[in-house]
Amino acid sequence: MQIFTCPFCGPRDEREFHFIAEAGKTRPDTLNQISDEDWAAYLHSHRNEKGHVREIWMHTTCGELFLLERDSVTMEVLGSTALREAGQ
Ligand SMILES: [Zn+2]
């Protein structure tokens, strides 16, 4: 079991959280036509990097989204920040 820290509720069991997306991923401008391939890449392709990663997670208990920074190799949690403070 891993412990994640919700910026609003504090440390909690990882089973209370849901992965949303990699941080910094820019949604394509849907006002302009984009190809099916580009839209699929936006929805389903992930960088899946090793090491320090920044991800958006939801704490399902309180429903808040936040930025979680962790090491994807060691699984160490490096920090969590409310999205409104992280500028995401
Ligand atoms: Zn919470």
Q: Ligand 1: distance of its center to the CA of 56 in Å?
A: 13
**Structure-token match 């990097």, residue found:** 49
Instruction: Give pLDDT, residue 88.
Output: 56
Q: Ligand 1: distance of its center to the CA of 53 in Å?
A: 21
Q: Ligand 1: distance of its center to the CA of 38 in Å?
A: 33
Instruction: Give pLDDT, residue 16.
Output: 98
Strand partners, 64: 59
Provide the domain count of the chain.
Answer: 1
Instruction: Give pLDDT, residue 67.
Output: 96
* pLDDT mean over 15-37: 88
Q: Ligand 1: distance of its center to the CA of 87 in Å?
A: 18
Q: Ligand 1: distance of its center to the CA of 32 in Å?
A: 36
In a domain, 30, yes or no: no
Q: What is the CATH number of the domain that holds 87?
A: 3.30.2270.10
Full domain range(s) for residue 16: 1-25+49-88
